[in-house]
A and B are shown apart, each in its own frame.
Chain A
Amino acid sequence: MIKMRNVTKYYPNHSEPALAEINVDVEKGEFIFLVGPSGSGKTTFIRLLLREILPTTGEIYVAGIDVLHLRPWKVPYLRRNIGCVFQDFKLLPNKTAEENVAFALEVLGRSQHVIREQVPEILKLVGLESQGHKFPSELSGGEQQRISIARALVNHPPILLADEPTGNLDPATSLELMALFDRINKMGTTVLVATHNREMVDSMRKRVIALENGRIVRDQVRGVYGYED
């Protein structure tokens, strides 16, 4: 489902690579934790998969699509296969929570009928059924994060990328959402979660890819968060 070959990413004007010589294979239906200290390249990894940025060298395939050689006008079709929870949420400030979630469906051309049905459902799933009419600036940090999660999930994408999806959530809600991710994964979705949440990683025992200074230092089936040493 995801394949990276010798991917290196230098940001312009910066001499240190954010990612270096990354080789990763992810099968359809896997659940992966991406861990690593702050600044190790997790967000860069996700941005590459979304084609938000292009790698300096290397090849990337997502859902069978050659990301590098994708025509610009076809990029939206790639992204519609990927649900993404952004570290900084990336909610549209001029749309309400509901409208933000609905936008992911409107992009796909879903009918109003479907939208009116699915949006409240997913809001309920993340515990925000009563906050749908608020604008992002009127939501708490954790609520915004959950709206971002709801938007990523609402159109049942085959791939789910989540960048620090529980950074602003209390442990109980975090566990609930992880259980949700696990359920979705069991139904066939490939899930990749970048996180610092040791409790979560250790309790779920999924495949763990650990980054350090932009390099993969560990790729472990049924791994743990590590790093306490």
Chain B
Amino acid sequence: MLLNFLILMKHELAVLAIIFILMFLKLGKDRSNVTVLNMVNVLLVINFAVGFFWNREGMMFNEMFRNNPLMVLEKNILNLGVLIISLQSYAWLRTHKHVPEFYMLLLSTLAGMFFMISGGNLLMFYLGLELSTIPLAAVANFDLAKRQSSEAAMKLIISSAFSSGLLLFGISLLYGTTGTLIYTELPGVLNGGSLQVFAFVLILAGFAFKISVVPFHLWTADVYEGAPVAVTSFLSVISKGAVLFVFISVLYTVFKPLAEAWYNMLFILSVLTIIIGNLFALRQDNFKRFLAFSSIAQVGFILIGITGSSQSGSGSVVYFVLIYVFSNLAAFGVVSLVSAVTGREGIKDYKGFYKTNPVLSWILTIALFSLAGVPPTAGFFGKFFLLMAGAEKGNWILITVAALNMVISFYYYLRVVKAIFMDDNTNPIQTVSMPLYPRLALYLCVAGILVVGLYSGIYEHIYSLSLKF
């Protein structure tokens, strides 16, 4: 029993263990940031490594907690992302006053996501969601001196509370109409009645809010811009990814009876999301804000993938999230490094960046190309598979719109590349020296971008896992 418990909840327990270590660290005599950071990063590496061993399928607490290979994979992806982010935010945290707290909060959100992914029950889902949101709001405020930071935190907490209010209303209606909260029981009792559809829409909105689907996306850009870069990247990659994982499984299993309805909803939402995201990304100057909108557009593509049939849909989405972790974090890594050293975050500031920082420029360029979906970067494969998955339903309007929107997205990614390579600048960003951790992280990302796509084994592995939820 106990062993089973330990193995099944390995990921969660590992994260919690780190949290408690940090807590005692904090209560004990205060150490220098660097030692704390070294320690934390080592722990995270261990945590990430542990994720690959002794995995087992199973359920506990009458389906409140499930685990299966796909979930393990998803958790590993999230672990990886957190590791990379932590390595990248080294430059920023070195001088920060509350390093252990930062990690405690961040990791508790991670734990929340794990519970959310593993949860087999709307209650667990809700708890996980909150656990992965509320601490983030706090962390978003960690640039205590900056007014933008606190504004971002305020926007995040209020709008997320609002969305969870709606979500809860939906859940309550669902509960009222079906009498159960357990995933495995729900499909049997869902009958697609209008009240249930309403409930579903409310729940969908809760998801859509977290993965910032238009029109539930409006908080995204502001929060991304205001929050510290580490938090922004965490929001844009980790929490989005986690919710996506849950979203797919919930849609494909729990709401199967409503499939026809949610397919059309996602159709509308994805088109809206791609277009609006692109249109806004067109005219951004702040790099984080720009990435925010670009990530919204990316979500639109992911939604298209979700509309596909279960296996290729979920496979392509998980695959894309993995790629997205690498590409987006590569971009954010450069941005966070630069903003930590120089405090400049405008795309204009990046004019002539290549003259001073060739390596960083290439990394950023590769990342942007991967986001834009240019071969041979992994992003190309990710987008291709997403669209192929979406095309399985034969909805060519959707595919054509998406394909043409890739052109718009191209424009703004290339705009940045243009700024980096072609424009000349009177005072370009000075040469930024890369500390060890960020360098590691960035190289890891680039390697990922190049390998994940070209090496087909990874996709096939994910695909093979993504039959069962």
Partners in one complex: no
